[in-house]
A = this chain, B = another copy of it.
Amino acid sequence: MFHHSKELQYEVRVEEPDPEFAKMLQQAIGGVEGEMRVALQYMFQAFAVPKKKHQFRTMLMETAAEELGHIEMLATAVAKNLEGASEKDRDRAREDPIIATMMDSGQPRQALSAGLHAMPVDSNGVPFSGNYVVASGNMAADMYANVMAESTGRLLATRLWEMTDDPGMKDMLSYLIARDTMHQNQWRVVLEECFEEPMPIPGSFPQEEENQKYNYAFMSTFCGESEDPEQPWTQGESPDGKGEFSFLSEQPGGGKPDLEKVIEEMYNEVN
């Protein structure tokens, strides 16, 4: 179960409110690279762990709760970047520079729907989707999803860091970038230390059942004659240690598709 406490996880300071930067920060809240995604992803992965592996459940919950705190930090940052709006003066909201910028920008709902506060949407204004969350039941696959999430998340945070000069915002982002460094390493170490041979994922599938001719061959799909480019992906041992890369100059080909029927009951007509 979950608990809260009254402090933020880390200080959130804004010296110069910047409504455009508020919009940018939304990507780190409700975007595909954002904190809602990782908080829920680690949570749903934790929910699937059986009791005999309680240490993984705990670890996932530890970090899920941490990410919830990041949502709170970022939402506070959004509100502070918008807080400069002046006291109400009838008929002049449009002339308030903060609100005017919101109206000109691509996230007007931040004013219209949220009164200048954070929302569970991305920087384009597109709502968060549950389909961003990866929790496959297979922990190795999930760990790759997590490394990827933290990689695109850190990339996003560094881009945001580039886009602001506000010392408070830079400090907050420097903290979030550091946490992404930790989390990238955290999920990597699980892959390396906890799985003997994780690849190809899922490792429990009997590999002899997969087609043995095409499982370590780079397949060219060039239209025309193609030659082995002699790259690391066409020769040498494969990273999973179970095969040798080779080069296939064309696709195998499996005959023309041969649907037999026009299904009349469906009023299909082809002609």
Contact (Cβ within 8 A) A137 B124: no
List the B side residues contacting A260 at CB < 8 Å.
50-51, 83
In the bound complex, CA of A115 to CA of B212 (Å) = 26
Which residues from B are CB-within-8-Å of A193? 232
Which of chain B's residues have a CB closer than 8 A to the CB of A2? 2-4, 65-66, 68-69, 72, 221
Chain B residues near A112 (CB-CB < 8 A): 24, 27, 31, 33, 123, 156, 159-160
Number of interface residues of A (CB under 8 A): 195
Question: Is the pair A88, B125 in contact by a Cβ cutoff of 8 Å?
Answer: no
Residues of B within 8 A of A233 (CB): 59, 185-186, 189-190
The answer to whether A75 touches B44 (Cβ under 8 A) is yes
Known: A51-B256, A136-B114, A184-B240. A267 touches B158 (CB 8 A): yes
List 7 A–B pairs whose Cβ atoms lie within 8 Å, in order of A's numbering: A1-B9, A32-B113, A48-B79, A48-B118, A141-B151, A141-B152, A204-B264
Q: A63-B219, A83-B259 are in contact. List 11 more A-B contacts (CB 8 A).
A: A1-B4, A2-B66, A62-B221, A91-B162, A138-B152, A158-B202, A161-B209, A175-B211, A177-B215, A178-B213, A223-B223
